Structure formats: C-alpha cells, structure tokens
Amino acid sequence: MEKLEKLRVSIDSIDEEILNLLNKRARVVLEVASVKRDTRLGFYSPERERQILERLQGMNPGPFPNDALRVIFREILSASLSLEEPLKVACLGPLATFTHLAALRHFGSSAQFIPVDSIKDVFEGVQEGKEAYGAVPIENSNEGVISYTLDMFMDFDLKIAAEIMLEINHNLLSVSGDIREIKKIYSHPQAIAQCRRWIERNLPHITIIDATSTAKAAELASRDEEGAAIASELAAKIYDLRFVERHIEDNRNNYTRFLVVSKEFPPPTGKDKTSVMLSIKDRPGALYEVLTPFKKAGMNLTKIESRPSKRKAWEYIFFIDMDGHAQDKKVKKALKEIEKDCIFLKVLGSYQCTDRNDVNIQA
C-alpha cells in the first residue's frame, strides 16, 4: 500500500505540472491572439492545427496511445482557439445529431455549434458569414449519397474544407433504461430502418413514431416515460437518458461521411482529395472524353455521382472525387484539359483525406 500511495503522489505531481503547462500555453495563445488582431489575420488556422497534431503523433514514443493523444490535443487546440475567438460552426440540429457529433470530433468541444433546421440553412449561414464553417452529411455506407447535399453545391458558392468519417452506432435510450416499460420508439426513419432486425427480435409489436432526427427523438423520449429513442451516445448525455441497449444497428459496418464547408479550402498536405462538379455536352462519348485525361495522368477517381441538373431536361451534373490537390501539377493539368469538353466545371475543394485511424476515435 505504501508503494501505491507513493505512485499516486507522483501522479498528482505530474497532473499539477500538466495543469501549469496548459495555463502557460494559454497565456502564449492570448499573445498570439493579440498579434493576429493587430495584423488582422484569421484566428482559426486548420493547417497549423494539422501540423501540430501530426508533429506530436510523429514524436510520441509511447506508451501513451496516438489516437488518445490526438483526441486530447484536439480539445486543447479547441479550448485555445476559444480564448482567441470562439469558432462558430453550423450543423444540422438539434444538438446531439450525428452531424453535431461529427462536427464535435473535428472542431473540439470548445467550438460554438449552431444547430439549424436544414442542410440548406447550414449553407446559407456560412455563405452569409454568420458561421465560419458548416458540417453536412454527404453519404452513408449503407444508404448511399445524400442527394440534397450535392444539390446545395449548385446553389451556393462554398468550398469543401474537410471530410469527417463517423462510425454510426445506434442505441436504444429511455428515461428508466428498462425495456419492460417501453410502449413506443421515436427515431428518424433511416435509423429505424438500420435497426429493423433488432426491433423485430426484441420489441416486435412496438409502436414506432417517426422523428425529424435522432436527437429530436431523444428529446421526445426524455419527456415520455413510456417512450424510448434510437439515438447516439451523445444524445443520452445531453437529454439525460439511460441505455436500454447499446449498438442495436443491424449492420456494424455503418459509416457516414460528412463534409466541412467554408468559403475557402486549405493548402496541400501531401495526402489530399479533390472534389469537382461538372456538366458535359450531350453527345456520344462525352463522358469517356472527360475521364480520359485522368487515366492518362494516372489519377485515381474515388467517386463519380450523377444528378439531374434541374435546370434543363436530361441535362446531368457529375460529382467526382479524385486523389490529389487542385494545386498539384497533374491535377491542375487534367482539369484544364477536360474544361474544353464541359459546359461548366467547378472545383468544390481540396482537403486532407481522412485517416482510417481517426474513424473510430470517440468524441
């Protein structure tokens, strides 16, 4: 016991040292804020944050794990930025939706998250300068592309600044946490569909009520002692609900990709992805001609989606993701070459590819 007590004293001393260093760092951050204010530089620098995180992970000797290190320093950077100027981020509301959870993971909990009613409202808020960034869902590994988000890039002149990959875990939540007291389940139709087999096995005769989001479902369940919600772990915390059952999704390989939109996109990092939107002339072989320059350049196209333009019958818009940054020579050359075969071509953004190790980090 004496040895254990000595070790605990040692940990207390280290914790106090960490606290002193955090406050020392915060004082330097305030000086940086003063310099930025005097020189009218932007407070938020995602490129600088990326460099800090990558440098620390690269020099970490262990045994402290890198994924946990990234989460901790994401929060330190987020809190530091809030000392300079709170970062406003629009996301599909209410709070505790999966979009909010994705934004929380990317920006840290010290950012100011503004819940809005629709994906269009996210784009409008960023376009009008009410928020610096917005987070929107773009595709799900089971359900496919969210077409409405793609349509918004037609109507707004915003860029993709980042992507976030989030593993979607559904939980059954209620006030009591007792499955025997549940008479109805609230949730978004997509979440209900993704948990159908579990519901049929465990609550086959339950009444299901559609909600506008999983977060709204949690809010409704928090006011209904006979109700339960299919929602996220974050929703359980925010709406003070208990877990009836965790991970009730039928497919455990369920991921959603989110995009961060802003008025500009970041510089190259060396492992980037570029998204473009284009419309081609209606003639035989037109799509082949557009894709040929990418093949010649040895470029990897990771996604091609087509959507009706909604401006002219039978006219289609293509959304293409490719490896590389728009400033890379071969990307720039290929885009210039295909431009002559396009009715229009718009670069939506270049941004760092999501590291697979970041997908499962809990916020």
Tens-binned pLDDT, residue by residue, of the chain (363 aa)? 788 888 888 999 999 999 999 999 999 988 888 887 777 666 677 778 888 888 999 999 989 998 889 888 888 888 887 787 778 999 987 888 889 999 988 888 888 899 998 899 999 999 999 999 999 999 887 777 888 898 899 889 999 999 999 988 999 999 999 999 999 999 998 899 899 999 999 999 899 999 988 999 999 999 999 999 999 998 999 999 999 999 999 888 888 999 999 998 888 888 899 999 988 877 777 778 888 888 888 899 998 888 776 666 556 788 999 999 999 999 999 999 888 878 888 999 999 887 644 544 333
Q: Give the max Cα distance, the chain.
A: 83
CA 42 to chain centre: 22
- What pLDDT was estimated at residue 208? 94
Please state, in angstroms and rounded to a whole number, the distance separating the CA atoms of residues 181 and 183: 6
Q: Report the CATH architecture of 2-84.
A: Up-down Bundle (1.20)
Backbone angles phi, psi at 288, to 5 degrees: -60, -40
Q: Which residue has the tokens 């929060």?
A: 75
**Closest C-alpha to 80, from 120, 124, 37, 33:** 33
CB neighbour class for 30 (10 Å; exposed up to 12, middle 13-18, buried from 19):
exposed
Q: Which residue has the tokens 């990307």?
A: 331
Q: How many CA atoms lie within 13 A of 167 on its CB side?
A: 16
- pTM here is 0.78
Instruction: Give all strands (DSSP E) within the chain, no chain letters.
Output: 88-92, 112-116, 133-140, 144-145, 159-167, 171-174, 184-187, 207-210, 227-231, 242-245, 255-262, 272-280, 301-308, 316-323, 342-352
- What pLDDT was estimated at residue 267? 86
Question: Taking the CA atoms of the chain, what radius of gyration do you get in angstroms?
Answer: 23
Same fold for the pair 88-168 and 171-245: yes
Domain range list for the chain? 2-84, 88-168, 171-245, 267-352
CATH of domain 267-352: 3.30.70.260
Please state, in angstroms and rounded to a whole number, the distance separating the CA atoms of residues 127 and 211: 28
Class level of CATH domain 88-168? alpha beta
Q: Report the CATH architecture of 171-245.
A: 3-Layer(aba) Sandwich (3.40)
- What pLDDT was estimated at residue 357? 46
Known catalytic residues are: 256, 258
Evaluate whether 140 touches 256 at the Cβ level (below 8 Å).
Answer: yes
